[in-house]
Amino acid sequence: MVHRLVVSYGQPEDPAAFDAHYRDTHVPLTVQMPGLVRFTTGKPTSMDPSQPAPYLVAELDFDSEQAMGASFASEEGRASAKDVRNFASGGATMTHFEVTELHVSR
């Protein structure tokens, strides 16, 4: 099973500064986290214009919830988590869940 952490970042005060810090500082910290098996990011677009989309969404996959907890308890995980306050002026919402794969037949 895969356990996924989803981080949704709100609209930053300075998007260019957010992007530079995220790319040059935060990503290098995050990819060093032990137990991280997949890390993806994207800038979503809302399908409903009345509902604003997050500025950026990051997905971090681990082998289990326990592996995620151990990763965030590590020196690298604490450094990544602490760095969020350095660039996420629009806030960050974190959720996590056990991934269930549903197969679609066509």
Q: How confident is the model at residue 1 (pLDDT cuts 50, 70, 90)?
A: confident
Helix (H) or strand (E) holding 47: none
pTM of the full structure: 0.92
Q: Is pLDDT of 106 > 90?
A: no
Q: Which residue in this structure is represented by tokens 């989309």?
A: 53
24-54 per-position pLDDT tens digit = 999 999 999 999 999 999 999 999 989 999 9
Please give the domain boundaries of the chain with CATH numbers for all domains: 3-98 (3.30.70.100)
Q: First-to-last CA distance in the chain? A: 25
Q: Is pLDDT of 92 > 90?
A: yes
